[in-house]
Amino acid sequence: MRFSLGVLLVLYLCSCGYAQKVRYDNYKILNLNIQSLEQSKFIEKLKGLSSFSFLKNIERNHDLLISPRELKKLAPMLKTANITNKILIDNIQEIIDEEEVKTKAEGDSFGWDRYHSYESIQKFIDGIIEDHKDVVTPFIIGKSYEGRDIRGIKISYKPGNRGIFLESNIHAREWITSATCTFFINELLNSKNPEIRNIAENVDWYIIPVFNVDGFIHSHEKDRMWRKTRQPTTNPKCPGTDPNRNFDTHWSSDEGSSGNPCDETFRGAAPFSEPECKALSDYVRSIKDNIGVYLAYHSYGQYILSPYGHSKTEFPENYDDMLQIAKASYDAILDQGYGTKYRYGSTASVLYVASGSSVDYAYNELDIKIGYTFEFRDQGRYGFVLPSINILPNCQETVAAMIALVKESKSLGYL
Ligand SMILES: [Zn+2]
C-alpha cells in the first residue's frame, strides 16, 4: 500500500507527538528553600540544565516543575546539598485534567466559576461590544506571529478622561489573568456599586484581555504550562520568546533575561523580534499622551511590582508615589477579608531582576509615570494551575485594588 505525502506527513506528525497534548503525569511541583550561598550556587547550576523548569525564582525560594524520573536523580543531590524541599503538587496532570473538564463543559454561559477557551473569551468580548456600543470601542493593535488579531476594547464614558492601559495574559499559562480581566470589564460596564461607577466613568480604560493569543491557545490545546510566544527561534526544539523580556528597554541584560531559546525567559533574537510586542509598543505609543497608568496582570506570587525591573539599586524618581499607590492597593486587597497578603515594591528589589518588560518599557520609553505588574494568587501552592474556586475571590480583590489605585493615582495627579 502506498501513502500519499499528506498521509505520510500526518503519520509523521502523530508519531512525533506534535498532534498530541503534552502530558504531565506524575510531574511534581517541588519547592526548594535556600539557606546559604553554597546552596544558591547549586541552584544556579541546576538552572543551567534544561531538564528542569523553574516556575518561581526568588532568592531563597524556588518552585520547580519536575518529572518523577528527574526527581529520582535530583533527590540525593538535594540531600547532599542539605536543601530543604517539599512537594507542593504530587501530580500536576490531575489538576490539569480537572480544569479541562470544567472548561469544556462551558456551554453558552460565560461566568467566573471556571476558565474559558480563547473562543469563549472572544464571544464574551463580542457581546460586550454589542451591548455597550455607546461607551465601548473595539481596537486591534496588530497580528500575532500565527496571524491572529490582538484585540482590545476602550471604555470611555465621557471626553476629557485620562486613561489607564491594561494588558493581561502576556504569559500564556497565567489563565487567572484573563479571567480576572474579563470580570473587571464586566464590572466596569454593569456594576451599580458607586465606587466602581466612579472608576468606570472617570477614567478611559484601554484593555487587552488576552495579549499573547498564540501562546494562550497553545496552553489550552497543546501544553498547559506554555509561557512564551510561538514564533520559532534559532533552535528548532525550542520555539517561543518570553514577550515580557522582548521590549526595547534595557534589553539584553544577562541578569534579567536569557539568551538561550530553551529558557523560559528567552529575550528573543532582538528587541521587538516578537510581532506582538512591536504591535503593543506602537499602539501604546500612539495613545501615550492620554495614559497616566500602565498595568499588566500576571500570576503568581501575590506581588504589586513597579519599575525598575532591571536594577536592584536604582529606583525611579517618583518611587515614593509608586509605593504609596501600591500600598493603597495592598490594603484594599487585604480588606476583602480573604487574608490574601501581597508584597509591593520595585520588581528587582522585591521579586527578581527582569529586563525588557512591558511595564518598564512604558515607564522608561513612553514616559508613563505609574506602572505595575500585578502577580495574582497564589504563593505557589498551585501556582499557574490555580483552582477555579479562586477566580471570584481573586476578581473581587482585584476590583478593590483597582478602585484604590485609581483614587490614589488621582490624588497624586497622575490621572
Ligand atoms: Zn507572567
pLDDT tens-digit map of 249-267:
999 877 899 999 999 999 9
CATH for 112: 3.40.630.10
Residues 123 and 37 in one domain: no
At residue 1 the predicted structure's pLDDT band, cuts being 50, 70 and 90, is: very low
pLDDT in tens, 173-187: 999 999 999 999 999
Residue with cell 469544556: 104
CB atoms within 10 A of CB 349: 18
Residue 298 Cα, ligand 1 centroid: separation in angstroms? Answer: 4
Distance of CA 405 to the CA centre of its chain: 19
**In this structure, is residue 373 part of a structural domain?**
yes
State how far Cα 369 lies from the chain centre: 21
Q: How far is the CA of 76 from the centre of ligand 1 (A)?
A: 32
CA distance 228 to 219: 10
Assess whether 209 and 355 both reside in one domain.
yes
Between the CA of 7 and the centroid of ligand 1 the distance, in Å, is 39
Question: Is the same domain home to 80 and 178?
Answer: no
The pLDDT score that the predictor gives to residue 50 is 65
- How distant, in Å, are the alpha carbons of 159, 216, 382 from that of 323? 30, 31, 28
Does residue 21 belong to any structural domain of this protein? Answer: no
Measured between alpha carbons, how far is 215 from 244 in angstroms, rounded to an integer?
Answer: 13
Do 161 and 296 fall into the same domain?
A: yes
The residues assigned a catalytic role are 375
Distance 30 CA to ligand 1 centre (A): 19
Same domain, yes or no: 251 and 303: yes
> In the numeric block, which cell numbers belong to residue 270?
532582538
Are residues 70 and 213 both part of a single domain? no
Q: Mark whether 46 and 136 lie in a shared domain.
A: no
Ligand 1 centroid distance, CA of 263 (Å):
14
Of 245, 219, 211, 214, nearest in space to 231 by CA: 214
Q: What pLDDT does residue 108 have?
A: 63
Residue 207 identity? I
CB-CB contact of 355 with 256 (8 Å): yes
Task: With cut-offs at 50, 70 and 90, classify the pLDDT of residue 52.
Answer: confident
pLDDT band at 162 (very low <50, low <70, confident <90, very high): very high
- Label residue 9 exposed, middle or buried (CB < 10 Å: 0-12, 13-18, 19+): exposed
Residues 252 and 126 grouped into a single domain: yes
Do 136 and 191 reside in the same domain of the chain?
yes
Residue 7, in any domain of the structure:
no
pLDDT at 228 (0 to 100): 98
In a domain, 2, yes or no: no
pLDDT digits (tens, 9 = 90+) for 184-219: 999 999 999 999 999 999 999 999 999 999 999 999
Residue 340 has pLDDT above 50, yes or no: yes
Mean pLDDT for the stretch of residues 45-69:
81
**Does residue 365 register a pLDDT over 60?**
yes
Are 137 and 59 in a shared domain?
A: no
Q: Are residues 203 and 256 in the same domain?
A: yes
- How far away, in angstroms, is 354 Cα from ligand 1 center? 11
Does residue 19 lie within any of the structural domains? no
Alpha carbon distance 218, 205 (integer Å): 28
Residue 186 makes CB contacts below 8 A (sequence gap 6+) with 128
Query: Which range of residues forms the domain containing residue 84?
Result: 28-90
- Using CA atoms, how far residue 359 sits from 168, 271, 309, 384, in Å, is 12, 15, 9, 21
The total number of structural domains that make up the chain: 2
Q: In CATH, what number is assigned to the domain containing residue 37?
A: 3.30.70.340
Highest averaged pLDDT of the listed ranges 29-33, 89-93, 187-191:
187-191
Ligand 1 center to residue 33 CA distance, Å? 22
- 122 and 37 co-located in one domain: no
Distance (Å, whole) CA 393 – CA 403: 16
Residue 15 has pLDDT above 90, yes or no: no
Distance CA 175, CA 116 (A): 9
